[in-house]
Each structure stands twice: as C-alpha cells, then as structure tokens.
Chain A
Amino acid sequence: MREINYQQALNEALKEEMARDERVFVLGEDIGLIGGNFGITRGLLEEFGSERVLDTPISEDGFVGASLGAAITGMRPVAEVMFSSFMGCCMEQIWNQISKIRYMSGGQVEVPLVIRTVNALGRSTAAQHNERPEAMFMHIPGLKIVTPATPYDAKGLLKASIRDPNPVIFFEQCFLYFTAKGHVPEEDYIVPLGKADVKRRGTDVTIVSYSAMVYKALEAAELLSARGVEAEVVDLRTLSPLDRETLLESVKATGKVVIAEDDCKFGGVGAEVTAIIMEEAFDYLDAPVLRVATRDVPTPFSKPLENHIMPTVDDIVAACGKVAGA
C-alpha cells in the first residue's frame, strides 16, 4: 500500500467527500487560493470552484454561525478555523447554538457540521497560536470531538465526521501534518467516531493518549520494552463520545495506567479519563493513575521555555516505571 502523510490524507478526505456528496462545501480563511495555512484544502478551489470553496473574511463568529445555518437547511459545511486558539472567537456559536440546537428543539433537526482546526504546540508560536482546547469542548454536551494521530485515522475519521449528522470539532495537529506518514488505502473507508484504537499491544502498563502524544507514548513503550516492561498504547482517537470499553478493557488487563496528553493538566482530558477509570475499574488497579501533561501556563515563546512545559518521552517512561515498579 502507498504511504502518504497526515496532510495529504486530510486533503484526500475532503476531496473525496466533496466529490461523493454535492452538499459538502468548505469555508474558512485563506482556504481557497493558497489551500489553507497548511495546505489541507489545496486543489479544492480548482476542482470544485468558488461556489463550494468559500474564502471568508476574518470573522469566525460569522462564518461558523453561518455554517450552522447552512447545516440545518440542507447543506454539509466543513469550516476551517485557522488555529484552535481562534476558537474563542466563535465560542458563542459553538457553545450556545451549534451544540444545543438539536436538543433544545426537541430533536427536530440534524446538524451535519464539521469544524476543523489545528493545535500547534511545539512551534514557538507562543500563547495565542497553540492552544490544545479539546477538553473545553469535551465539556459541552452535544459535540463530538475527534483527535486523529495517524494519516490512516485522519482520513477515515474526517470522512466519518463529514458523514455524521451531528456537529463534530475535528482537532488536527500541526506537528503531524508533514512528519506523520503511513499506509492509507486508496479505496473509500471510514474510521468510526467513538472508537479508540490500541496502537501497541502490551501486558504491563496502559498508556492512554491521543493526537501527537501517541507518538511519544509509542517511543516510550519501545524504551520500556528494552527494560522488560511491555506497555499497551491506547489511542483514544475520539474524545467525545469516549470509547470506555476499549479503555477499560486495557486498564483491567494491565492494572496500571499512565495518561499522556498535550494539554494542560488541570481540568484536562486526563482528569476525565482518570475519573472514568476510578469509577469503573478501581478494583483492577495495582497503582494510582498517573498523568503526564503540559504544565499549567500559557505557552511561552522561547524554545527552552516551551520545551520545559511540554511532556517528554522520558516523562512518560518515568511515570510508567513508577506505576509498573520498573
């Protein structure tokens, strides 16, 4: 099978879904002529025209709200918010309108809407261009939250998100666009939302992760293996709805858990995952659940500062060593 990168996988997903369903259209800033800041929409303008590839003015509240209006009246918009830090500018529409309209109307309507955005930790862009806000959105009922790590998952999950009749916030990872390569089928496939994936089998400790941190988790697992500790790496892939079954099955089998995440620790994804494990698998645990996460500060600019707040492979190894007694 051919290998492509994460960026190409996402680009293919959009192309294929737009070709498959004429109700699908994309909108956002700079997505037309230059194909988006990271080239995810490259070639769409040439292929589908300016009727279905809408360059918007800088108005996140406006075009994300308009996406909702279009979604509930028969279209399937895919909006791009240039960086996930800018999600604050359209939070009102996401929080009060998009996530609630189906519920508040008593189930009258479907909301087939995707908002794609990108997390960009590790690029020295400082605090206003590299949020990892997925936990904030996870806390809002009525949204699906997707965070792919591999090109295969990126393509399959984006296709599934576009076909889903509910609002999906799709968090891409800027660091992965060009570094993550992998086998991606040319034929049509989807990766269902709400299903985690075991990226590595192991018996001694479970590392729970998602998005770019999956790679650090896998690296940590290799280092641990040399020490005789076999780590299982669970990639959550979708944060909401969260696949409790796969998570708990792994936890019950290993009895030890480390959660590795990109976001700030306090009130984050790991906190929720820990609580689920405590509520549903406490009796299986041989050690306390540990979290490896980013420090609770806005992201600093200078490289040594940025590096200092981000979790490393060694941090994951150390945490696993602690719970697995190695």
Chain B
Amino acid sequence: MLRSMLRIRRFEEKAIEVFSEGLMGGVLHTYIGEEAVAVGVCSNLRVDDYVAGTHRGHGHCLAKGAPSDRMLAELMGRKTGLNKGKGGSMHTIDFSKGILGSNGIVGSGIPIVVGAALSAKMRGTDQVAVAFFGDGATNRGSFHEGLNLAALWDLPAIFVCEDNKWAISVPKRRSTKLEDLSVRASSYGMPGVSVDGSDILAVHQAAAAVVARARRGEGPTLLVCDTPRARGHEEGDPQDYRPKDDLEAAKRRDPIEGLKTYMLGAGMLTGDEFEAVDKAIVQEIMEAERFARQSPFPRPEEALDDLFAEVH
C-alpha cells in the first residue's frame, strides 16, 4: 500500500512538472493528499472488479492497476496513451483493469457503477463495483438515484465519498447542512460508514469489510472518507478563497508520511528500505516519462476513428 500511494504521488509530481512545461493540454486535478482512499479501497479489489473514478482520477486508475507509462502518455495526448490520446487527464479509462472511466462530469460515474454491479449480479459473478466521488457530488441527482437503485436491488456496489470539504472554491458547509455525509446512506436503506481517509490502515480495514459484504451479496454501502485536499482544485489554482490554516492542516495530514511513520515506529520498515522503495518508483516514473515524451502524437485523421463499433 505504501508503494502504491508513493506511485500515485510520484506520478502526479511528474505530471505537474510536465504540465508546467506546457506539454499537457487542458487542466490537471491532482489527488495529492487523498491517496489513502484509492489505495485503501482498491487494495481490496480484484482485477475483474469495477471502479469508476472522478475528474481527480489518476489515483483511482493507478491503484486499480493502470500502467503509469501509458497513463502519462495519455495525459500528454500521445498515440500510445491508454485512450490513444482521446481521453486525457479527466477521462482515463482502462477496461482491461476494470476501470470504467475517470469522469469529467461530477457524480456521473455513480449510475454507471450501479449498472456494472447490476450486471455482475445478473451474470452471477461475485464481482463488485466501486464508485469514487467527492463531497460535492453527493448533492447531485445521480448520487441519490444511484444509491437508491443499488439499495433497492441489493447490488454489490460500494460508494466511496472522498470528503475533502471543498468543491472548487465552495466549502462543504455552504452546500449541505450535514457534517457527516454517511448519514445519507440511511435514507436509502443501506449502511453508511465514516472513516479517517488519511489513515490508510483505517480505510483499508473499513473497505475490506464493505467489499466483503458486497461480494457476499449483502448489498451496497456508502463509505465516507474524510480526506484533505493538499493542493488547489487544479494546478494553477491560487486558492485565494481558502483559509491558510486549512491548507496547512491538509498538508500536515499526509497519508504517506502517516504510514511511513507508523511503519518505522512499529519496526516494519527501515529508513533505508523506504528510500529503496521510493527510488524504484521514481525510476519507474522516469521511464514512464521517457516513454511518454518519446511517443508520437496520433495522426490527425485518427480523430475520426473509434466512434462506432462495427456491427458483427
């Protein structure tokens, strides 16, 4: 799990670098500070389980097993990218790893995950489907409709809310009266669980229970993870709207530092071992960067491919 969180962190640090060089179009929303949620949940999943991410989706994809080189190539619009350069940062999709898509539309992955869980149930598999979304997304109709359907049909779905208290510049307290969003679960007749989302062990443990429950056919759960957003909404966001101490507090809750400190303290890891792990990951990301930079752009005419599947 430490490795997986570090991979996300180093990947995104590289993405920021490449973005500031102007080699990446569009916008870049990083997951920095929230890694424990994706990793804590996905470490309980199999390759054939489904996840749907958010506009802040690099962490979900990497934690679910997407290759860092093809992901970085995608962010840089290359032909070798996961989506042949048609998706980009907000829309990374890898069906071979059960990743049904990061999503540019807040909350829209939720009904899609409901359908994937429905399909798993209909096909009689024991796959589960996980939707990640922010606290802001819980105010959308798709959240309410999706949770209601999943509960009604006892689907193997897990709804993971990344409660970072912000939706761009709007603080959570200005978009809902609720403090603890997990209480929303009770209005659909499913359990709601709240957990410290910067504590990877807590997330992992809570997710293990709800994933097992879903796999046993006992239905969906809403898992709310209290997690800090350590950077702006997107790169380049000056965060003028945000109190300084809120940002400082977010940075102090670094889940990677948290796990590292815990493991060092418990004698599960030495400083040297940590360095070695980190070095290997930095190496992987450097190779991913080399791969992405050396990859060609798609031919312009490829813009017209992949619209429809051939009728067979």
Chain A residues near B (Cβ < 8 Å): 25, 51-52, 54, 56-57, 59, 61-75, 77, 92-93, 96-97, 101-111, 141-142, 144, 163-166, 193
Contacts and interface: CB of A to CB of B under 8 A. Distances in A.
Contact of B101 (A56, A59, A65, A105): A105
A126 B20 CA distance: 54
19 contacts: A61-B141, A66-B111, A67-B115, A69-B117, A70-B116, A72-B112, A73-B120, A74-B119, A74-B123, A75-B118, A92-B105, A92-B108, A97-B105, A104-B86, A104-B101, A107-B84, A107-B309, A141-B307, A166-B311
Contacts of A92: 105, 108, 142
Nearest to B111: A65
B308 interface: yes
A216 B86 CA distance: 44
Given A105-B83, A105-B87, A70 B119 contact: yes
A314 B281 CA distance: 75
B83 A106 contact: yes
A107 B302 CA distance: 11
Contacts of A109: 93, 95
B309 A97 contact: no
B237 interface: no
B295 to A, nearest CB: 14
B220 interface: no
A74 B108 CA distance: 20
A145 B249 CA distance: 52
Given A104-B83, A106-B83, A108-B93, A69 B118 contact: yes
Nearest to A160: B311
B82 interface: yes
A62 B146 contact: yes
B95 A68 contact: no
Contact of B119 (A57, A65, A75, A142): A75
B256 interface: no
Interface in B83-116: 83-87, 91, 93-96, 100-101, 103-105, 108, 110-116
A57 B82 contact: no
B168 to A, nearest CB: 19
Contact of B308 (A62, A97, A166): A166
A67 to B, nearest CB: 6
B245 interface: no
Contacts of A105: 83, 86-87, 91, 93, 95, 101, 306
Given A110-B309, A164-B311, A103 B86 contact: yes
A91 to B, nearest CB: 11
Contacts of B273: none
B255 to A, nearest CB: 29
Interface of B: 50, 81-87, 91, 93-96, 100-101, 103-105, 108, 110-120, 122-123, 129, 141-142, 145-146, 148-149, 152-153, 305-312
A69 B306 contact: no
Contacts of A51: 122
Given A75-B123, A101-B93, A108-B95, A61 B115 contact: no
A62 B309 contact: no
Contacts of B119: 69-70, 73-75
Contacts of B95: 72, 105, 108-109
A57 B149 contact: yes
A108 B309 contact: no
A111 B116 CA distance: 13
Given A69-B111, A70-B122, A57 B152 contact: yes
Contacts of B312: 165
Contacts of A70: 115-116, 118-119, 122
A93 B83 contact: no
A111 B119 CA distance: 13
B101 A107 contact: no
Contacts of B116: 69-70, 72-73
Contact of B112 (A59, A66, A110, A165): A66
Point out which of A59, A102, A111 has the most chain B C-beta atoms below 10 A from its C-beta.
A59
B114 A62 contact: yes
A66 B93 contact: no
Contacts of A108: 83, 93-96
Contacts of A72: 95, 100, 112, 116
A221 B97 CA distance: 57
Point out which of A68, A106, A166 has the most chain B C-beta atoms below 10 A from its C-beta.
A106
